Amino acid sequence: MLLHALHDILCGGLNYRQSVPSNVSLHCNRTVVVAVCPDYTYWVVVHCTWNITVEDVGGYQTVLSSQYYNSKQTVTDIKQSLLNNVHMALTDMNGGELYQPVDVIKMVVKQLKGIKGEHVHSLTVAAITALQRICHECAGTNSTLSERKDKIIGSVYIRAGVVTSQKFQLISSAGKLTNATLSCFN
C-alpha cells in the first residue's frame, strides 16, 4: 500500500492522490486461520482493516472418533470441535464482547505438508469440508455460493447472504502466512 501511494511521487507523477478502496468492506474482515493436525488443532483470529490486530489465538487437542481422516465422522468431529472452541469467531458477524463487528468472515485452512503420515491430505480435506458446512449454516439456505480455484490464492469458497452484505469466505492455503501462525506454537 505504501509503495502504491508513493509510486506517483517516486516515478515522476505530478499529483499525489490517496489510494482508497471503492468498497471498504473488502479490507475489513475477521480472518480465522485454522490448522487441523492429527494431534492438535491451532487457530488464530485476526481483525483486518488498514492494519492487522490479533484478537485471539489458541489450540486444543484434536479428538477424532474415526481412525479414517476421509470419513463423514471425522468431518463432523472437526466441525463440532471448532464450534466448541472458536464458535463466536467463525459464526457471529457482530463479534459479541470478544471480537470487532465485521461484514466478512474469512476462514483460512492450512494445508498440511510437512507432517508425517500418508493420509494427512485427507485431514485437510475434512477440515475444509467442516468449515464449508459452517459457512453454509451461517449464511443460510438463501445464500449464494461462489467457488473457484486459483493457482496463487488456492481454493476459494464464498457464501454470501442475498439480503445482507455479509459473506463467509473459505480459503485453503499452503502459504507462508499460515506457516508464520504455526511458528507461535510448540
pLDDT tens profile 144-184 = 998 888 777 677 889 998 777 789 999 887 665 555 555 55
For 35, the domain range is 23-182
Task: Please tell me the total count of domains within the chain.
Answer: 1
In a structure prediction context, what are the per-residue pLDDT tens digits for the chain, which is 186 residues long?
444 443 443 344 444 444 444 444 455 889 999 999 888 999 999 988 777 788 999 999 999 999 888 899 999 999 999 999 999 999 999 888 889 999 899 999 987 766 666 677 889 899 999 999 999 998 887 889 988 887 776 778 899 987 777 899 998 876 655 555 555 554
Considering the entire predicted model, what is its pTM? 0.77
DSSP label of 85: H
Which H helix or E strand runs over 169? strand 167-173
In a domain, 4, yes or no: no
In a domain, 50, yes or no: yes
In a domain, 95, yes or no: yes
In a domain, 15, yes or no: no
In a domain, 103, yes or no: yes
Backbone phi, psi, residue 19, to 5°: -90, 105
In a domain, 6, yes or no: no
Which H helix or E strand runs over 181? helix 176-182
- Burial of 69 per CB tally in 10 Å (0-12, 13-18, 19+): buried
pLDDT tens profile 105-116 = 999 998 776 666
d(CA 87, CA 186): 24
CA dihedral over 176, 180, 185, 186, signed as positive or negative: positive
Q: What is the CATH number of the domain that holds 90?
A: 3.30.420
In a domain, 12, yes or no: no
**Which residue, among 160, 123, 120, 110, has the nearest Cα to 139 in the 3D structure?**
160
**Which residue, among 94, 90, 104, has the nearest Cα to 23 in the 3D structure?**
104
In a domain, 9, yes or no: no
**Which residue, among 133, 127, 129, 140, has the nearest Cα to 167 in the 3D structure?**
140
Q: Which amino acid is at 122?
A: S
d(CA 150, CA 59): 29
